[in-house]
Amino acid sequence: MVNQKVLVKDKHRKKKKFLKYFLILITIAIIILAIFLIGFFTKKTPNQIVLENPLKDLVFANTNEQGLVNKQAVVEQAILQFNAEYINFLLIALGVENLHKSYIGYGNPVVQINLDGTSWTSEISNNQFQTSQKSSEDKDLLITLSRQEAIEALLSPDMSAFMKNSVINGNTQIEMIANKAELASKGYLAMYTQITGEEVEIEE
């Protein structure tokens, strides 16, 4: 009788031990799953700025019945009516989707583009452009090119590739004005690397 009681107690002890380990494993699995789900749903997606090409109507107006575009006419008219929409679309080709407000207090990205002696400045905030025809003392980056080069980029089937080649060929110049820490904190270094293929090291 004594032996039977001991055996019964041992059997229950094993069940409790198994149940304890099983609950611990389930708890760990739930915690891991919760961490995964939190990471998945809070994962930041890259900025996406969607704009319509400002040359669309001009191209349509200068396309004949055979579907051929009078490119020269488009370029000439676009140069005459160049405005902030052209700058904004050009900035997308230059990779401004990499830009964001500084994490260390430097504020929003400010890009200045000089075209044939005319300055345009754009501040990027929450995927929105505040662009006007002026120069800025607070610019982080200065981009210089001709209006014709800008319009050629807008007409290109792959604007990003066109601008990269334009920089490599020297038709577009990019000058970093702000210090590298500020540029890095706003995403400019990734943008610069995307355009030029060159890595920029931050001096310590």
* Residues 100-133 pLDDT 10s: 999 888 999 999 999 999 999 999 998 789 999 9
pLDDT at position 9 is 52
Given the DSSP bridges, would you call strands 110-115 and 141-145 parallel, antiparallel or unpaired?
Answer: parallel
| 70, 58 contact by CB (below 8 A) | no
pLDDT at position 76 is 93
Residue 19's pLDDT band, with cuts at 50, 70 and 90, is: confident
Max Cα distance, the chain (Å): 108
Q: Which residue matches tokens 């200045």? A: 112
How far apart are alpha carbons 53 and 93 in whole angstroms? 11
Q: Where are the domains of the chain?
A: 1-43, 56-196
Closest listed residue to residue 189, CA positions, set 200, 178, 198: 200
Phi, psi of 53 (to 5 degrees): -60, 120
pLDDT at position 204 is 47
**For the chain, what percent of residues have pLDDT higher than 90?**
53
pLDDT at position 25 is 75
Q: How distant, in Å, are the alpha carbons of 7, 10, 17 from that of 4? A: 5, 10, 20
Average pLDDT for 156-171: 92
Residue 42's pLDDT band, with cuts at 50, 70 and 90, is: very low
Average pLDDT for 165-192: 92
CATH of domain 56-196: 3.30.1050.10
* 195 pLDDT more than 80: yes
Tens digit of pLDDT for each residue in 67-102?
898 999 999 999 999 999 999 999 988 888 889 999
